[in-house]
C-alpha cells in the first residue's frame, strides 16, 4: 500500500510540473527517469519544483508531511533523488514511518 500511495504522489507531481516545463525538460513518468547527475532532462529549478509537488501530493494523499529537501547527509549512502524509482521507494518508506500531520 505505501508503494502505491508513493507512486500515485509521484505521478501526480510529474504531471503537475510537466505542465509548466518546456517539452525538452519534461519528465517521463518511469522509475528509470534520471533526476540528478548525468542523463537528466530536468534542471535544478525543475527539480525543486518536483520536490515541492511531491511533498504536497504526499500530504494530500496520506495526511503525512514528508520533507524531501533536507540535509543531504540525512540520506546516508542512498540518493533518493537519483531517479523517479529511488524517490518513489524513499517516499514509500517515509509514508510508513512519518506520523500523520
* Cell 525538452 belongs to residue: 24
**pLDDT tens across 11-38, in order?**
999 999 999 999 988 999 999 999 998 9
Residue 81 contacts residue 88 (beta carbons within 8 Å): no
Report whether pLDDT(72) > 90. Answer: no
Q: What pTM was computed for the model?
A: 0.88
Q: Which of 39-43, 72-76, 95-99 has the lowest mean pLDDT?
A: 72-76
* Distant-in-sequence, close-in-space partners of 70: CB < 8 Å, separation ≥ 6: none
Residue 90 contacts residue 57 (beta carbons within 8 Å): no
- Within 13 Å and on the Cβ side, how many CA atoms surround 77? 0
Query: In this structure, what are the phi and psi dihedrals at residue 100, rounded to the nearest 5 degrees?
Result: -60, 150
**C-alpha cell belonging to residue 39:** 542523463
Amino acid at each position: 500500500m505505501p508503494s502505491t500511495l508513493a507512486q500515485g504522489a509521484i505521478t501526480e507531481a510529474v504531471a503537475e510540473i510537466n505542465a509548466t516545463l518546456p517539452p525538452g525538460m519534461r519528465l517521463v513518468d518511469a522509475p528509470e527517469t534520471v533526476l540528478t547527475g548525468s542523463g537528466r532532462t530536468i534542471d535544478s529549478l525543475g527539480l525543486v519544483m518536483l520536490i515541492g509537488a511531491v511533498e504536497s501530493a504526499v500530504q494530500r494523499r496520506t495526511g503525512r508531511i514528508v520533507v524531501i529537501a533536507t540535509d543531504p547527509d540525512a540520506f546516508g549512502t542512498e540518493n533518493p533523488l537519483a531517479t523517479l524509482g529511488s524517490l518513489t521507494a524513499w517516499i514509500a518508506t517515509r509514508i510508513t514511518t512519518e506520523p500523520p500531520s
